[in-house]
Amino acid sequence: GQDGSYLAEFLLNKGYEVHGLIRHSSTPNTSRIDHIKKDLRLIKGDITDLSSLFDTAPTRLDEIYHLAAQSDVGQSFISQAHTRMTNIEGTANIIELANRDLGWGESKLYNAATSEMFGSSQPPQNEDTPFHPCSPYGVSKLAAYWSTVHAREAGLHASSGILFNHESPRRGENFVTRKTTKAVARIKLGLQDKLVLGNLDARRDWGHAKDYVEAMWLMLQQEKPDDYVISTGVSTTVRQFCEMAFETAGIPIEWDKGQPKHLERAYLKKRRRPGEPRVVQVSSDFYRPLEVNYLKGDSAKARKVLGWKPSVGIRTLVKEMVEADLEAEKGCQCR
């Protein structure tokens, strides 16, 4: 995923010997790491199979970054058993792997937790905010979080990063941010007519994945393991993200204010004519059974203890993603 590729780059630049676990597949997708693949030691395995982990993973690992997950919130409602197996059992197996190396010296474990564990809790959310997940994904990651806490209490140097939403040009196309920027690029180039979205008023705290992998590393450089919220502290609606993406591409839009929210649509600004096709449409198909309406993180602890702070703002992030998708789509046209 995006985090693994950025983290691998970050660690290589610091002189690490980097081993990466990838799933067995007849058509493996390594596009995010092809440019550094020669510098990595890739291992095929499955985090849900403990014996395969023990057979394939090298011993004496200094730092373990556990990023693997079924992370699609919407899909977690459909594939609940798979989500539980990957996120809960998989984490338990990674903890076992970290404990295996205790005889050689201390292995430090980073566990990727998520703001979805907070669910409907009131923002801004920090390390003391009660958890109230609203999806099978959030529930599974909360179980993995507590497994990591218990491992730490048993003596393992284990920390969890409670990461709020973080994006990049490497984000999967099934996530609303990348779905939006790719669609905007295709609309700009005349390859697509419209973008279909769900809840436009959902608010998220979006940062850049590059900033967040640095926070992961900083957690494992601390003498004492702990849990940290990683966020920008700025919350943006899906609607605002969408507007910024179209604006970046030079396609300003306006919303049809005469429609109820579940039927909202947007048109090209200043060019609307009777019967003109919409460029954004809302569909109930993209609403979640239980929606998390407002996530906004308070990362004061990480800023104070780790010395971490985000370097990329939301407008810069959107611009980078749209421009990357425009280049990618132009490249596809040339081939």
Q: Would you name the residues annotated as active-site residues? A: 114, 116, 137
d(CA 69, CA 166): 15
Among 85, 296, 83, 66, smallest CA distance to 159 is for 66
The answer to whether 181 touches 132, Cβ cutoff 8 Å, is: no
Residue 132 and residue 144 in contact, taking contact as beta carbons nearer than 8 Å: no
From the list 3, 30, 105, 18, the residue with the least C-alpha distance to 64 is: 18
User: Are 273 and 244 contacting, i.e. CB atoms less than 8 angstroms apart?
Assistant: no
| DSSP string covering 63-118 | EEEE------HHHHHH-HHHHHIIIIIHHHHHHHHHHHGGGTSPPEEEEEEEGGGT
Distance CA 34, CA 38 (A): 8
Query: Which residues are CB-contacts of 108 (< 8 A; sequence separation ≥ 6)?
Result: 62, 63, 64, 157, 158, 159, 220, 225
Which residues does 62 contact at the CB level (< 8 Å), separation at least 6?
107, 108
Alpha helices in the chain (DSSP H): 2-13, 50-56, 73-78, 80-84, 90-100, 136-153, 176-188, 209-220, 238-248, 300-305, 314-334
Which residues does 271 contact at the CB level (< 8 Å), separation at least 6? Answer: none
